[in-house]
Structure formats: C-alpha cells, structure tokens
Amino acid sequence: MEADDGSRDTALDTDGPRGLPRGVRPLLVLPKIREILEIFSAEQPELSLPEIRKATGLPASTCQRLVANMVVEQFLDRVGDRYRIGLRLGYWAAPAAAGLDISDVVAPAVTALRDETGETACFFRREGDLRVCVAMAETLHAIRREMYVGKLMPLHAGSSSRVLLAWDDAAAERVLAGPLPAYTELTVTDPSVLRILLDQTRQQGYSVTAEERDAGASGISAPVFGPGDQLVGALGISGPTQRLTPQQSMAWAPLVVRAAQQATRLLGGRPRSGR
C-alpha cells in the first residue's frame, strides 16, 4: 500500500499482531528492558543491582547503565540500594484493560490448554457466592462433561472453586461460615477440612479435585491474576474421571499452571504460584 507521500505503508505488512512491520529493524535494547522488568515479582518486589545482573545475565556495565536509565524514565523506582517496578508504570498501564472483555483476552490461553490436554478448558470468575464460566474451549472427545458459558456453579465444590477461594480471603470466610451442601459423596462439607485444602491449594499453586460437584467428573485449576496481583479468575480443565485419573491429573497440572500464567500475562498481571 502506498501512502499519500509515496512512501510504503508497512503498518499492514507484518508477521502477526506482535510482529514488526517488514523492513523495520528491532530495537535491541527493548528486550533487555523487558527482561529486567520481568524478574520482579510479588515474591521479590525489590532487588539489588547485583541480583538484577545475576537474574538477567547481562554484562555488569550494560545492566548498570540500563537500570540507571530506567530509574530516570520512571520504569523503576530506587529505594536505597534496591530497585522496584516504578509506580508510574501502574499509571501507564491503567488504560490497558479499559473496554476489554476479559473472556476475549484470556481466550488464547483457554484454547491452547484445550489443545494441549484434549479436555474441556474453562475460565471461571466469582459472582457473589457462585462461580460462573465466562470462557471455554470444548473437548473433541465424545464423552465429555456438560459445560457452557454462563453456567453457574457452587463456590465450595470443584477445583476452580477451590482456587477462587484460596486467593480471596473475604469470599473464603463467607463460604466457610455458611452451609456447605453435599452434591456427591465426595463433596467437602466440613469447613475445617475445606480450610486446610485451601491452604494446600495456595502452597502448591493449583487444585486437583475429583467428583466433588458431579459424580464421575474431575478437574484441575490454577489462579489467574490481573494488574496489582488481584485474583481475576481460575483457569482449568475438566472431564471424566476415567480420563483425568490421579496420575494424569498430576501430569497435566504443570500445563494448567502454565496456561494460567499465560492468561495472567495477557491481562497485564504477574504470575505467582502461592503466598
């Protein structure tokens, strides 16, 4: 396409939504800046210059120069001899989620998880004392667990419920204080037992449950976070227990965690595994 001034408009000539227009050379400093920003986490919000250098593997002089300039440009804030993500970045990031439909944003992670495992992948959010499926990619297996976008489910039974309560203290306390109806023989109805299971979920960073909501159905879920480390939802897979055996569930758990981390990044959050 030719622009009005006769130059070639390369905006549409790209290698994908994140690809550079053809003919545009990459700025090599940008990946280094991103690498520095991504080593900070909720578990390590502050790092010293030697720690940054060790984590990135950048040459000492390069690392020092980049960090110093990132402080000047407000990408980083300096606290004594340590550094943290600049507060200004939060201001810049605030408009990113405006007008976005979360289900559309996380859809690539949901679909990828379905493709990797072959099982139905779903993204759940909490709605009061229930959870609702807001995005899904259905399995191609003939035998499947019935699921659809908009389906409401209890907040004390199932792997996604476990995740949604494990990282939301206020919701957990409300649910633990109320009745815990039994849906199957394996539904957890004892608040003290459920509290222990929530602690376990936080420690391992995901939840695996079997036949708590529906007899013959199992699930694996992990948390998805948004900006500010706020829990946004739970991403996971579900299917017949004959396919999601305990052994298979443990093998797929890392895939579920990785997909949840991808969804977290898509939403502008920082992945973390527990408290």
Can you give the pLDDT at residue 148?
A: 85
CA distance 104 to 96: 14
Torsion, Cα of 53, 224, 119, 155 (10° steps): 150
Amino acid at position 140, single letter: L
Can you give the pLDDT at residue 7?
A: 38
Amino acid at position 201, single letter: T
In the chain, how long is the greatest CA-to-CA distance? 73
Q: Where are the domains of the chain?
A: 1-95, 99-266
Locate tokens 């993204």: which residue? 123
CA distance 62 to 53: 9
CA torsion sign, 235 to 241 to 244 to 245? positive
* HEC-encoded secondary structure of 25-65: CCCCHHHHHHHHHHCCCCCCCCEEHHHHHHHHCCCHHHHHH
Specify the CATH number for 99-266; select among 3.40.50.300, 3.30.70.380, 3.20.20.70, 3.30.450.40.
3.30.450.40
Pairing of strands 130-137, 217-225: unpaired
How crowded is the C-beta side of 77, counted as CA atoms within 13 Å? Answer: 10
Q: What is the pLDDT of residues 2-14, one digit of tens each?
A: 343 333 444 434 4
CA distance 131 to 156: 9
Torsion, Cα of 244, 250, 256, 257 (10° steps): 160
CATH topology of domain 1-95: Arc Repressor Mutant, subunit A (1.10.10)
Can you give the pLDDT at residue 165?
A: 97
Can you give the pLDDT at residue 96?
A: 62
Can you give the pLDDT at residue 66?
A: 97
How is 136-203 classified by DSSP, letter by letter?
A: EE---SSS-----TT-EEESSSSHHHHHHHHT-HHHHHHHHHS----SSTT----HHHHHHHHHHHHH
Q: Which residues of the chain have pLDDT under 70?
A: 1-18, 42, 93-100, 272-275
Q: Is-contact 71 84, C-beta < 8 A?
A: no
Integer angstrom CA distances of residue 173 from 4, 167, 176, 181, 194? 63, 11, 5, 16, 11
Can you give the pLDDT at residue 15?
A: 45
